[in-house]
Amino acid sequence: MKDAAEKHAGRNAMSQTRISRGAGLPAASEGSGRPRSAPALVVWLCWLVMFFDGFDLVMYGTVVPSLLDDEDWGLTPSGAGIIGGLALVGMIIGALGVGTLTDIIGRRWCAIGSMLGFSTMMMISAVSPSPEILGLTRLLAGIGLGGAMPTVGALILEYTRPARKNLVFTLMFTGYSVGGVVAALVAIPLIPAFGWRAMFVLGALPLVTLVPLAIKYLPESAAYLRSRGRDEEASRLTQRLNLHEETLAAAVEEAQQPRDGRTPAADLFRAGQLVRTLVLWAAMFCALLLIYGLTTWIPEVMRASGYPLGSGLWMLVAFNGGAAVGAVLAGRLADRFGSRTVLLVAFGAASIALVLLSLRLPLAANLALVAVAGVGSIGTANLMNVYVTSFYAVRSRATALGWTLGIGRIGAVLGPVIGGVLLGVGLDAAWNFYLFSAVAVLGAIAVALVPRAKEPVEPVGVVVH
pLDDT digits (tens, 9 = 90+) for 72-105: 898 988 899 899 889 888 887 887 777 667 777 7
Q: Residue 106 in 3-state DSSP? A: coil
Cβ-based burial of 114 (10 A; exposed 0-12, middle 13-18, buried ≥19) = buried
Give the pLDDT confidence score for residue 36 in this predicted structure. 43
- Alpha-carbon distance of 255 to 223, in angstroms, equals 8
Each residue of 383-415: pLDDT tens digit?
A: 888 788 778 776 677 778 778 877 887 888 888
Give the pLDDT confidence score for residue 190 in this predicted structure. 93
- Alpha-carbon distance of 405 to 58, in angstroms, equals 18
Stretches in the chain below the pLDDT threshold 50:
1-23, 25-37, 246-247, 250, 254-255, 258-259, 455-465
Q: How many helices (H) and strands (E) does the chain have?
A: 18, 0
The answer to whether 178 and 185 have CB atoms below 8 angstroms apart is no
- Alpha-carbon distance of 147 to 115, in angstroms, equals 9
Cβ-Cβ contacts under 8 Å for 407 (sequence gap 6 or more): 92, 281, 284, 285
Q: How far is CA 267 from the centre of its chain?
A: 22
Phi–psi pair at 27, nearest 5 degrees: -70, 150
Q: Residue 23 in 3-state DSSP? A: coil
Cβ-Cβ contacts under 8 Å for 143 (sequence gap 6 or more): 90, 91, 93, 94, 97, 117, 118
* Phi-psi label, residue 24: left if phi above 0, alpha if psi -120 to 50, beta otherwise: left
Where b means 16+ CB within 10 Å and e means fewer, 415-446 reads bbbbbbebbeeeeebbebbbbbbebbbbbbeb
The answer to whether 316 and 366 have CB atoms below 8 angstroms apart is no
Give the pLDDT confidence score for residue 282 in this predicted structure. 93
The answer to whether 395 and 259 have CB atoms below 8 angstroms apart is yes
- Alpha-carbon distance of 9 to 12, in angstroms, equals 5
Partners of residue 324 on adjacent β-strands: none
Give the pLDDT confidence score for residue 5 in this predicted structure. 46
Place domain 38-448 in its CATH homologous superfamily: MFS general substrate transporter like domains (1.20.1250.20)
Give the pLDDT confidence score for residue 124 in this predicted structure. 94
Give the pLDDT confidence score for residue 32 in this predicted structure. 37
Q: Residue 308 in 3-state DSSP? A: coil
Give the pLDDT confidence score for residue 133 in this predicted structure. 95
